[in-house]
Amino acid sequence: MTAQREIPQLVDNLFRHEAGKLISVLTKVFGADHMELAEDVVQEALAEALEHWQYRGIPERPAAWLYRVAKNKALNIVNREGYHRRYASEVAHFLRSEPATEPAPYPLFSEEEIQDDQLRMIFTCCHPALSPDSQIALALKTLCGFSIPEIAKAYLTTEENIHKRLVRARQSIRDAKIPFEVPSGQDLEKRLHAVMETVYLLFNEGYSASKGDEIIRYELCEEAIRLARIIVDDKTIRRKETVHALLALMFINASRFRARQDEAGNLLTLAEQDRSLWDKQLLGTGLGHLSMATQNESISIYHILAAISAQYSIAPSYEATDWQSILSLYDSLIRLDDSPLIWLNRAIVVSKVSGARQGLAELEKISSHPAFTSYHLFYSTQAEFYIQDGDLERAVAALETAIRLASVPSEISLLEKKLKML
C-alpha cells in the first residue's frame, strides 16, 4: 500500500495545488494516455518530500524542490523497462532538455507553462467523452490534488466507487485518444461550454448539499472558482464573457455560503438567512466579474443566474428585494432554458410580484409536467401559496403530499412542523 498512500491530503492547500500543477506539467510530458504515470510520480515526490522535510525542515523553495525530484523520478521511470523505447526516448529528451541545476529556471516548469498545462488538463478532464461524474472525480484528483478518500467524503460515497470512476475516466481518455491540448477554432467554444458545465456542477456539489463535511464542501466551491480563474486568466482564449458570468455566479453564491445553514445544519432560505454573515468581499468580486461579463451583448444562462443572485444580494432586506426585476430575469432565463424547475422558481417570484393566487395559477399551468408528479418542492410551494391565500384545507393536502414525497429527514421535519402549525 505504501506507494499508493495518499499523500496530498497530508499537507495543506499549497501542497495540494503544487501537486495539481506538477501532474499537469508531467501529463504534457508523458501524454494524456499516461496520466496515471504522472500522478504516481507526483505521489512519490510528495512522499519523498515529507520524509526529507521531517529531518531537513521545509526548504526555502518547496515547489522547486518538488519539481526537481518529480523530474528525476520521471526520468528514472521512463528509463526503466516496460516503456516503448521510442516513447521513452522522446519523454527523456523532453525532460533532459531542462537545465538540471538550480537556480536556473525550468522552462518546462515556468509559471506560464504551468498555467497553460493546467488549462490543457482542464480541457482533458472535462472532455465530453467522459461522464460528468468521472470528469469531476478526475479533475479533483489531478488538478486539485484531492485524495481518493477526500473525494469519497465530498460525494458521500465509498473510496472504491471513486476509484472505479477514475479508472473509467482514464480508460475513456485512452479509448477516445483525447489529446492533451486546448481546442482551437470552432471547437473551442463548444468545449469551453462543456468545461463550464462541469465546473458549475462541481461548485453546486459543494454548495447545495445539506449534509456532509462543511469544510470539504466549501473547498469544492473554492476549487470550482480556482479552475474558472485559470480559464479567465488565459491569454489565448479571447471570448470570456461567459466565464466571467460563471465566476460572478459562483462568487456571489459563495458570499452567502456561511449563512446557508443554521447551527443544527438545516438549510436556511434567503428570507431566513442572517445577512450580516454574507461575505462582502466575495460579493464585490462577484459583482466585478458580472460587469466584465456584460461588456458586450453576449448572454448565457450564467449571466442571468448571476444577475438574479446579485439582485438578492444587493437588496437591503428580503422584503425589499426587487421582485419585478427578478421576474423579468426569469422570463429571459426561460427563453434560454425552458425547464420545469425554472418554471417552478418563476412561480414563486410571480407570487411575490402579484400575490399568492397568481402564483397558484402559474403552478396550475405546469402541474401536469411529469417532473412534478413526484417532486416534493412543487407541493410544498403550492402549500405555501395556499397558506398565504387562506385556503388551509388545500394547504394541508398539499403539505401531506410533499411529506410523502420528500426523502431528506431535515426537509421532512421542516414540512411536518409547518403542518402542525396549521
4 binds another protein (CB under 8 A): no
Residues 6 or more apart whose CB falls under 8 angstroms from that of 291 comprise none
* Residue 262 burial (CB count, 10 A): 12
- Pick 52 or 226: Cβ nearer another protein: 52
In whole angstroms, give the CA distance from residue 209 to residue 267. 9
Rg (CA), the chain: 25
Q: Which of 3, 4, 57, 86 binds another protein (CB under 8 A)?
A: 57
- Pick 56 or 96: Cβ nearer another protein: 56
Q: How far is the CB of 7 from another protein (least distance, A)?
A: 9
Residues 21-50 that bind another protein (CB under 8 A): 47, 50
2 binds another protein (CB under 8 A): yes
Q: What are phi and psi for residue 28, nearest 5 degrees?
A: -65, -40
Q: How far is the CB of 55 from another protein (least distance, A)?
A: 4
54 binds another protein (CB under 8 A): yes
- Give me the helix-helix angle, 241-254 and 214-233, nearest 10°: 160
56 binds another protein (CB under 8 A): yes
For residue 35 the three cell numbers come to 496520466
Q: Which of 6, 133, 234, 416 binds another protein (CB under 8 A)?
A: 6
92 binds another protein (CB under 8 A): no
5 binds another protein (CB under 8 A): yes
Query: For another protein, what does the binding mask look like between residues 125 and 144, x meaning CB under 8 A?
Result: --------------------
Q: Which of 52, 229, 352, 369 binds another protein (CB under 8 A)?
A: 52
Q: How far is the CB of 63 from another protein (least distance, A)?
A: 16
Q: How far is the CB of 54 from another protein (least distance, A)?
A: 5
- Alpha-carbon distance values, 149 to 3, 42, 163, 340 (Å): 16, 18, 9, 36
Q: Which of 59, 149, 265, 409 binds another protein (CB under 8 A)?
A: 149
- Pick 9 or 157: Cβ nearer another protein: 9
Strand segments (E) across 107-147: none
Q: Which of 14, 58, 371, 408 binds another protein (CB under 8 A)?
A: 58
- Pick 119 or 148: Cβ nearer another protein: 148
In whole angstroms, give the CA distance from residue 90 to residue 88. 5
In whole angstroms, give the CA distance from residue 406 to residue 419. 14
Binding region for another protein (CB under 8 A) out of 53-61, 110-118, 287-295, 361-369: 53-61
55 binds another protein (CB under 8 A): yes
Give how many residues touch another protein by CB under 8 A.
Answer: 19
Q: How far is the CB of 2 from another protein (least distance, A)?
A: 7
For residue 201 the three cell numbers come to 456542477
Residue found under cell 486568466 = 233
Residue found under cell 524542490 = 65
Task: Specify whether the CB–CB gap between 244 and 292 falls below 8 A.
Answer: yes
Residues 6 or more apart whose CB falls under 8 angstroms from that of 103 comprise 64
Task: Specify whether the CB–CB gap between 346 and 314 falls below 8 A.
Answer: no
What's 105's DSSP letter?
A: P
| Closest among 127, 135, 110 to 21, alpha carbons compared | 110
53 binds another protein (CB under 8 A): yes
| Closest among 121, 334, 302 to 226, alpha carbons compared | 121
Q: Which of 9, 210, 325, 388 binds another protein (CB under 8 A)?
A: 9
Q: Which of 14, 51, 280, 409 binds another protein (CB under 8 A)?
A: 51
For residue 165 the three cell numbers come to 470512476
- Pick 10 or 92: Cβ nearer another protein: 10
Query: Which residues contact another protein (rule: CB under 8 A)?
Result: 1-2, 5-6, 9-11, 47, 50-58, 147, 149
